[in-house]
Structure 1
Amino acid sequence: MAQSDREGILSTLVLSGVDESREAALERYCRELRFRLAEQTRILADASQELSAEIGRREEAQAALVQAQKLGVLGYLTSGITHDFNNVLQAVRNGYDLLASGNDNPRHHLVIDEGRRAIEHATSLTRRLLTFIRPGGRKLEALSPSSLMAEVEPLLRAVLKGGIKCEFAVAEDVWPIILDRGELETVLINLAVNARDAMPAGGRLLIAARNSPTREVRGVTLADGDYVVLSVQDTGTGMPPEVKARATEAFFTTKEPERGTGLGLAMANDFALRAGGALRIDSAPGSGTTIEVYLPRAAVPAPATAAAETHRGGVILLAEENEATRILAAQTLRALGYRVIEAGNGKAALALSYSVPALDLAIASATLPDGGGGGLAERLRIERPKLPMLFLGQGGTAGDADTLPRPVSPAAIAAAVSARLARRHAFEEREDALSTRMLARLDQPELKGCLALWRRLRGCDPLPRIDHAEALIAERKACHFVAAADCDGGSPRFRLLSVGRDLADRLGRPLEGMFVTGPEDDVVGSLPAAYAQTGRSRLPVYDWLRHKLGDGPATRFDRLILPLSEDGHTVSHLVGIVLFTDFPTDPLEGM
């Protein structure tokens, strides 16, 4: 005890006025000392306990960090290995395709078909690996839960022990969902593995799918709409509240290090949230566990009748670093009547593109050396802005380019090329018809030039970007207007952002901030419905009006409205050129 504490106690005894013997004073002093010693001991014990807990938390965080770093390195290695493995699968598939061509022996075809199925299974495994390390590589598709459960049932039974009875209960009218098949299969397998580990002595596992049209679900907050619920229910040990509260945390696990990473439920929860749904856990010690994954119902339209593939010929640039894949693709395309220019890297492809006056399509590997497929697409479109692109493998970025995952089959190449060129031909035919009609109506050089520039600025997208607005109005800046879409309240309306000086003077009032779309919004000349028509059709609109006020001169009003976009597809802005022509005398008088 400190000297000051001892003096304080003795002072208290002296000032109390109590006449005590020396032994009594010492006894009191000892009791006070023991009390204070016990209090200090308790404080030190609490501090030691808190320090131990903090050390434990830091060790857990450090272990999680090390595990995350390991997974990061593993993901990097897996990405490269997966790419090489897909190339190997491509070569094997090429071999099976060559064996199948011209072979009429049914016994041989049985072996070939079995080999192709094995390749498809291996491709699915690599896609799941890539999905885990690179979520952006998901392949979304409309799925039927009942069909999916039938396909995944053998996989689920394979991971369960013999003492576990596995049952499936799928409603007949369960709604479709749009998801990545590999991701969903992985989630179901992880949940089944967790259930298996929770039933070491065996038990019952029920995997079900049902519709849930209600929004309010106990313990889960969902947006309005219909949901499909996939549930995995076991009769295992269950979770205490403190474990249940942390069950979806990444790297949290109650298993031994060699049996679990703590990522199963975390991945399932992340999967549900990214899909627009939620994950719900119902568990208690001794009562088993039920995991419910809520997924939004897919609004899938009735399947359209597939159009027959047509191949009209043309010149295709093929840039692929894997020789086996390049040979297969080139042979397939030449057999369909295309002229193919082959290159093994981006620089060679760019150089060879200048050897022909025109290209109908470019096919590039997404992992092409010298900048990848996206880099090649950007360089090619400097000279050929409307050139359509098709990527082999994930990772390309070039606007409206399509992507074929590896390994790719001859049938997939043929279908993708046919669909891509069909879209281009339809777009060109629509554009030619539009240009012919529009140009026939335009007799002002300024408007004709503005329309021609708008067409050039589109590149390969349906609409030019808003960045090109300044170029469109450069020649007639005094008579322009720019309006932006405002979708609040339902149908989009367009609010004026800027108006040329001559146009504002002609209309005699400030116009910035006003709407131009509704029937009451006739602020830039007449015919306000033209603005809404441009927004709906994504096509330019031209109109004109001649009017005369009293005995004053007649005036002709010509207006060209051009749609622009922030993403190349959706109308976000309108740019207009308005011309006024005044006649000193009415040219129709006396007629």
Structure 2
Amino acid sequence: MTAILLGTEGDRRALGWFAAMVLVAGLRLLATRAWRRDPAARANARRWGRIGTAGAFAAGLVLGGGAAWLWPQSETYQLFWVFLVGGMCAGAAGLHHAHLPTLLAFILPAALPLVARYALEGTERSFGAVAMILVFLAAVSISAWRSSCDFAANLRLRLDLARQARELDAINGRLREEMGRRRATEASLRQAQKMEAVGQLTGGIAHDFNNLLTAVLGSLAMLRKRLPEGDARAARLLENALQGAQRGAALTQRLLAFGRRQSLNPAAVDLPALVRGMAELLRGALGGAVHLRSDFPPGLPPVFADANQLELAVLNLAANARDAMPGGGEIVISAAGREVLAGEVSGLPAGAYVVLSVTDAGEGMDEATLAQAMEPFFTTKGVGKGTGLGLPMVHGLAAQSGGRFLLRSTLGVGTVAELWLPQAAAPAAQRARVAAAPAPARRGTLLLVDDDPLVLASTAAMLEDLGHSVVEAASAAEALDRLRGGLAADLVITDYAMPGMTGLELAEALRRLRPGLPVLLATGYAELQGEVPHGLPRLDKPFEQAALARATDACLSGVGAS
């Protein structure tokens, strides 16, 4: 346009207008670059929006003002101005359709000077041009307004979708965490169910082994009495058999401990005194390369547990810690009181506990090994060096005592074994158990009841060897029939697990049939601890002849009898 004005009309004012247009364009370009370099442009959006709108207004004003200022006399060049300004307004509509204020800031100062110039002419043709320009401005403005509304709606939609996508990502994250926790809980539950099922199976098998070992130990004891003197080879073989049966009995006790079916005699136990009492045993088991240190706070409350089984648990944990340090090291046995709130520790009811810890600085375990450490028969030791029942036994003891057993281990750092046991509020009343009879042994007629022929024959032989007269019965019903038939029995020795009528049911029937007749319950079921009536003595299987003799003497002399 500048070239046309200079070439046709020689109007040098066009150069000043051209300089003004270049200046405004340069300032807008600098503002655009400053906006792009502003790190806080998003936060300063309103300020930059006002600057941009002001730049558009300046460009439109210079364009429209220049057209009015340089208005040519020729109608042809007047129409050229109109087309130039109209084209610039149409281009602005395309560029600024998303922001109506910027568009209006450009097209109104650009077009209205032309409207004023035509209106001043006062001709019919000029008024027609005014009407056409105003209609054009209205059309562009309405189109831009609709585009701006559509853009705003789309922008709000995109922002809403982005916000919803962020919320959905957050929900998915929480869902993944919850699914992870649920999978962990399900895995723990499956592990607990598996261990419970294995424990029930193991406990049942161990109970059957108790019956077999009772017959084996009894028969070997009777055979040892009848072995001719001077037969050293036979005596050695017999002793080997006895030792094997006793080791089998110890293994059975471990199986029962894992299955939570061992017979416990819980009492208030002073942990520092218990560890001091077994110090020599621990030092002998650990060897010279391992240093043992105990750390007990003053005033540590006693725990309610079976002292003998607790000693075995401590010995097992110490032996495992020793094996984890083949090059030697230090084992620390410590304890601390702990108050547990409801739901604070998984698997433990609220109450007061003592946490007995055995800590080593050995090889430690990785996560896979730690996850299997308490499974029965799992061991990291070589063949013949471990049964894999040590930790399951400790786990079973803790669970049966009302506590829990925890293992924490880091590969290359060491292991901490924690045995949580309930505090003993006061010395607990002990379940009636068989004690040694202070009076001289008494002989009598004994009614022996057991559904297992091997146990029945072996026990009868041991009792007869002790000088008693034995009457055998293979069931509770047969025993009652014999007593109703006039059998004058001095003592009834009965198994618990029998078909038709259990030993407890037989004892209750005997209370009604023969009040005052002593009954001795022989069983390996630990679940009976809460079911055995007060005053009813029990004899735990497997038993040897000496234990059987003490039990029968105690019952016949009235010690522990009902």
Name the TM-score, length of structure 1 as normaliser: 0.52
Aligned residue type for 1:48: N
**What whole-Å deviation, never above 9, does each CA across 1:220-259 have from its counterpart, x for those lacking one?**
99969xx8x85412226999xxxxxxxxxxxxx9435873
User: Retained in 2: the 8 A contact 1:128–1:186?
Assistant: no
Q: 2:543 aligns with which of 399, 408, 431?
A: 408
Closer, same or farther: CA 375–154 of 1 in aligned 2, 3 Å: farther
2:456 — aligned with what? 326
Tell me, yes or no, if structure 1 residue 185 matches structure 2 residue 312: yes
User: Retained in 2: the 8 A contact 1:311–1:337?
Assistant: no
Aligned residue type for 2:171: A
How does 1:60-139 map onto structure 2 within 5 Å?
Answer: 60-103=184-227, 104-105=229-230, 108-134=234-260, 137-139=263-265
Aligned length: 384
Q: For 2:521, what is the secondary structure of its paired residue?
A: strand
What is the alpha-carbon distance in structure 2 between the residues aligned to residue 335 and residue 184 of structure 1?
35
The worse-fitting range, judged by mean Cα deviation, of 94-103 and 39-48 is 94-103
Tell me, yes or no, if structure 1 residue 168 matches structure 2 residue 292: yes
Tell me which protein shows more strand as a share of its residues: 1
What is the alpha-carbon distance in structure 1 between the residues aligned to residue 220 and residue 462 of structure 2?
14
Q: 2:360 aligns with which of 234, 242, 248?
A: 234
Q: 1:255 aligns with which of 341, 362, 368?
A: 368
**What whole-Å deviation, never above 9, does each CA across 1:456-478 have from its counterpart, x for those lacking one?**
xxxx75xxxxxxxxxxxxxxxxx
Q: 2:514 aligns with which of 361, 384, 399?
A: 384
User: Retained in 2: the 8 A contact 1:144–1:175?
Assistant: no
User: Retained in 2: the 8 A contact 1:392–1:404?
Assistant: yes
How does 1:459-478 map onto structure 2 within 5 Å?
Answer: none
**What whole-Å deviation, never above 9, does each CA across 1:371-390 have from its counterpart, x for those lacking one?**
22111111122111212111
**What whole-Å deviation, never above 9, does each CA across 1:195-240 have from its counterpart, x for those lacking one?**
977x8x9773504378x8x999xx999969xx8x85412226999x
Give how far 1:184 is off.
5.0
Aligned residue type for 1:36: D
2:160 — aligned with what? 36
Tell me, yes or no, if structure 1 residue 346 matches structure 2 residue 481: no
**What whole-Å deviation, never above 9, does each CA across 1:316-358 have from its counterpart, x for those lacking one?**
1110122222223222323333222111111111111223353
Closer, same or farther: CA 410–135 of 1 in aligned 2, 3 Å: closer
User: Retained in 2: the 8 A contact 1:366–1:374?
Assistant: yes
Give how far 1:192 is off.
6.4
Q: For 1:101, what is the secondary structure of its paired residue?
A: helix
Closer, same or farther: CA 107–139 of 1 in aligned 2, 3 Å: farther
Q: Report percent identity of matched pairs.
A: 29
How does 1:254-333 map onto structure 2 within 5 Å?
Answer: 254-255=367-368, 259-260=372-373, 290-291=416-417, 310-333=440-463
1:51 — aligned with what? 175
What is the alpha-carbon distance in structure 1 between the residues aligned to residue 156 and residue 320 of structure 2?
60
Tell me which protein shows more helix as a share of its residues: 2
Aligned residue type for 1:345: S
Closer, same or farther: CA 237–71 of 1 in aligned 2, 3 Å: closer
Give how far 1:363 is off.
0.2
Aligned residue type for 2:359: Q
User: Retained in 1: the 8 A contact 2:363–2:411?
Assistant: yes
What is the alpha-carbon distance in structure 1 between the residues aligned to residue 173 and residue 318 of structure 2?
36
User: Retained in 2: the 8 A contact 1:140–1:181?
Assistant: no
The RMSD of aligned alpha carbons is 5.2
Give how far 1:58 is off.
2.7
Q: For 1:371, what is the secondary structure of its paired residue?
A: coil
1:421 — aligned with what? 556
Q: For 2:472, what is the secondary structure of its paired residue?
A: strand
Q: For 1:36, what is the secondary structure of its paired residue?
A: helix
What is the alpha-carbon distance in structure 2 between the residues aligned to residue 292 and residue 259 of structure 1?
17
Point out which structure has higher relative CO (alpha carbons under 8 A, 6+ apart): 2
User: Retained in 1: the 8 A contact 2:100–2:148?
Assistant: no
User: Retained in 1: the 8 A contact 2:258–2:394?
Assistant: no
**What whole-Å deviation, never above 9, does each CA across 1:280-315 have from its counterpart, x for those lacking one?**
999999975555657769989xxxx97656233222
Closer, same or farther: CA 277–411 of 1 in aligned 2, 3 Å: same
Q: For 1:390, what is the secondary structure of its paired residue?
A: strand
Give how far 1:393 is off.
1.5
User: Retained in 2: the 8 A contact 1:205–1:232?
Assistant: no
What is the alpha-carbon distance in structure 1 between the residues aligned to residue 371 and residue 414 of structure 2?
23
Q: Where does structure 1 lack aligned partners over 5 or more consecutive residues?
A: 1-12, 158-163, 240-252, 428-459, 462-591
Closer, same or farther: CA 150–406 of 1 in aligned 2, 3 Å: farther
Aligned residue type for 2:257: T
Name the TM-score, length of structure 2 as normaliser: 0.54
Q: For 1:317, what is the secondary structure of its paired residue?
A: strand
Closer, same or farther: CA 147–287 of 1 in aligned 2, 3 Å: same
Give how far 1:365 is off.
0.7
Q: Where does structure 2 lack aligned partners over 5 or more consecutive residues?
A: 1-95, 105-143, 377-389, 429-434
User: Retained in 2: the 8 A contact 1:91–1:325?
Assistant: yes
What is the alpha-carbon distance in structure 2 between the residues aligned to residue 299 and residue 119 of structure 1?
35
User: Retained in 2: the 8 A contact 1:378–1:398?
Assistant: no
What is the alpha-carbon distance in structure 1 between the residues aligned to residue 338 and residue 169 of structure 2?
50
What is the alpha-carbon distance in structure 1 between the residues aligned to residue 154 and residue 372 of structure 2?
56
What is the alpha-carbon distance in structure 1 between the residues aligned to residue 198 and residue 400 of structure 2?
23
Aligned residue type for 1:234: D
What is the alpha-carbon distance in structure 2 between the residues aligned to residue 126 and residue 37 of structure 1?
66
User: Retained in 1: the 8 A contact 2:409–2:415?
Assistant: yes
1:399 — aligned with what? 534
User: Retained in 2: the 8 A contact 1:131–1:138?
Assistant: no
1:204 — aligned with what? 329
